[in-house]
Amino acid sequence: MAHCVIVGAGECGTRAAFALREKGFGGEVTLVGSEPHAPYERPPLSKAGLAGGVDPKFIASHETYPAGNIRLLTGVTTISVDAVARTIVLSDGSQLAYDRLLLATGASARNFPNAPESSHIRSLRTHYDAVTLRAILQPGRRLGVIGGGFIGLEVAATARQLGADVVLIEGLERVLKRGVPAEIAHVVAERHRAEGVDLRCGVSIESLTERNGKAVIALSTGEMIEADLALIGIGARPNVELAEATGLVIDNGIAVDDRLRTSIPDIFAAGDCCSFPLALYGGRRVRLESWRNAQQQGMLAAANMLGADEPVSAVPWFWSDQYDMTLQIAGLADGAVMHLRRDLGERAFILFHLDGEGRLIAASGIGPGNAVARDIRLAEMLIAARAHPDPAALTASNVKLKTLLAA
Ligand SMILES: Cc1cc2nc3c(=O)[nH]c(=O)nc-3n(C[C@H](O)[C@H](O)[C@H](O)COP(=O)(O)OP(=O)(O)OC[C@H]3O[C@@H](n4cnc5c(N)ncnc54)[C@H](O)[C@@H]3O)c2cc1C
């Protein structure tokens, strides 16, 4: 095999490129990315990176690519794939032949229906988006956040830290409705209120427009909210257009098997753009939007492109930073029938989520700094081991989770 081509120079594609070399692949590696920058980390865009400065946090230093003999093409989009001829066509008119192709095209921010093109109405996915957003995050300016998901809440926290006024509108009755238990979402919401965020839940938005240099958010209550910028944070959609045009099966993302193989031989997909079966949860097909998943799948895809034939086995894991709090979730909590709480000292706790048979299927925790990190890591190991821990031991803070793992 002579040439591995990776489309999408985000977290996943970049990790895959380096992993090919780490696994000893001696042929050509080409990494093609639409964005003008070398690959950078997205999580800081809503957190410290947004507050801090304008430079992206690069995944690897610029010289690492030539040093690893990785051909990095930036500012170039792959516009078509010919799966029979095994070639791709790039937006600069050039063509590349591949032996193995990895699609790591990621996701894009969802648009608000009928929102006009406006510099006052934005979403946050790229470094460019973050730079635009950063400009209005200052005292005396007002940010309207649409959606109480992770990105909206993280930006709200950063905006408050920078002194901007924030109003956050969530259509459902609480924030973080998708995948986060109510008890944790409550802590998050209360903290935002205490920090001065005007947080409104259960309010729907009639329209989002621009007037006189402001974004105008019309609520179903009749109220009009004016903001210097409205940030749309209503989730992401997988970038599947290229895969669809190639004839790949799409099912909430590019459908892959547990080896990250698509429906066409020698084309793999990984990261935010793909859905895959998770054996740990009965083979249920999921699509994750998480940094660690993008990394792990990039590395796994690289191994399987080289013939390793290894299945996806990692436990889903996600974190979010807001103010001095970190929230972490391991596993998938839906399907849980029992939620047990373990207190970990001041302002920190973990919820263990058990299914009907008493198997630990997820753990979610919140606390200052790293307070929940160690126990979430141990819970992750228990989840991977399909453990049925004693519920009394889970809630007793004096029983070390490590002992349950040994059991
Ligand atoms: C603001 C923000 C904060 C986040 N915070 C967290 C967090 O705290 N914790 C967490 O776990 N996760 C977080 N995430 C999610 C995490 O960053 C993503 O899961 C991860 O970046 C996914 O990596 P990826 O490589 O699959 O996709 P992406 O990062 O989306 O990268 C895909 C790349 O492919 C490029 N591309 C697409 N199509 C083509 C094409 N046809 N040709 C060439 N290039 C193409 C895109 O331009 C993009 O650069 C955050 C995401 C954002 C946006």
Q: What is the pLDDT of residues 138-193, one digit of tens each?
A: 999 999 999 999 999 999 999 999 999 999 999 999 999 988 999 999 999 999 99
CA-closest candidate to residue 348, choices 328, 330, 368 = 368
Ligand 1: nearest atom to the Cα of 270: 26
* Predicted pLDDT at 407: 76
User: Over the stretch 356-383, which tens digit does the pLDDT of each residue have?
Assistant: 999 999 999 999 999 999 999 999 999 9
Pocket perturbation via mutation, ligand 1, pick of 32, 42, 123 by most ligand atoms within 8 A of CB? 42
* Rounded distance between C-alpha atoms, residue 84 and residue 356, angstroms: 48
For residues 11 and 13, give the distance between their C-alpha atoms in angstroms, rounded to a whole number: 6
Q: What is the SS3 assignment for the chain?
A: CCEEEEECCCHHHHHHHHHHHHCCCCCEEEEECCCCCCCECCHHHHCHHHHHCCCCCECCCCCHHHHCCEEEECCCCEEEEECCCCEEEECCCCEEECCEEEECCCEEECCCCCCCCECCEEECCCHHHHHHHHCCCCCCCEEEEECCCHHHHHHHHHHHHCCCEEEEEECCCCCCCCCCCHHHHHHHHHHHHHCCCEEEECCCEEEEEEECCEEEEEECCCCEEEECEEEECCCEEECCHHHHHHCCCECCCEECCCCCECCCCCEEECHHHEEEEEHHHCCEEECCCCHHHHHHHHHHHHHHHCCCCCCCCCCCEEEEEECCEEEEEEECCCCCCEEEEEECCCCCEEEEEECCCCCEEEEEEEEECCCCHHHHHHHHHHHHCCCCCCHHHHHCCCCCHHHHHHC
- 220 CA to centre of ligand 1 in angstroms: 33
Structure token pair of residue 229: 């910028």
Alpha carbon distance 284, 131 (integer Å):
38
For ligand 1, say whether the CB of 40 is within 6 Å of any of its atoms.
no
Distance of alpha carbon 111 from alpha carbon 311, whole angstroms = 34
The CA distance from 129 to 294, in Å, is 21
- Round to whole Å and give the CA distance between 202 and 191: 18
Q: Ligand 1, residues 12, 90, 105, 129: which to mutate, most atoms within 8 A of Cβ?
A: 105
Give the angle subtended at the CA of 156 by the CAs of 39 and 166, to the nearest 5°. Answer: 140
Taking 50 as the pLDDT cut, the residues of the chain under it are: none
> From the CA of 240, how far away is ligand 1's center (Å)?
13
**Rounded to two decimals, what is the model's pTM?**
0.97
Angle at Cα 293 formed by Cα 65 and Cα 394, nearest 5°? Answer: 140
- CATH 3.50.50.60 given to domain 111-232: yes
What pLDDT does 179 receive?
A: 85
C-alpha span between 235 and 219 (Å, rounded): 20
pLDDT of residue 106: 98
Nearest-CA residue for ligand 1 atom 5 is: 43
- The whole-number pLDDT of residue 49 equals 86
Fold of 3-108+236-305: FAD/NAD(P)-binding domain (3.50.50)
* 59 Cα: distance to centroid of ligand 1 (angstroms): 12
Task: Please state which architecture CATH assigns to domain 324-406.
Answer: 2-Layer Sandwich (3.30)
What's the gap in Å between 290 CA and the centre of ligand 1?
8
pLDDT at 335: 87
CA of 16 to the centre of ligand 1 (A): 14
Residue extents of the structural domains in the chain: 3-108+236-305, 111-232, 324-406
Residue 292, amino acid: R
Amino acid in the structure at residue 199: L
Do the domains 324-406 and 111-232 match in fold?
Answer: no
Token code pair at residue 297? 């799948």
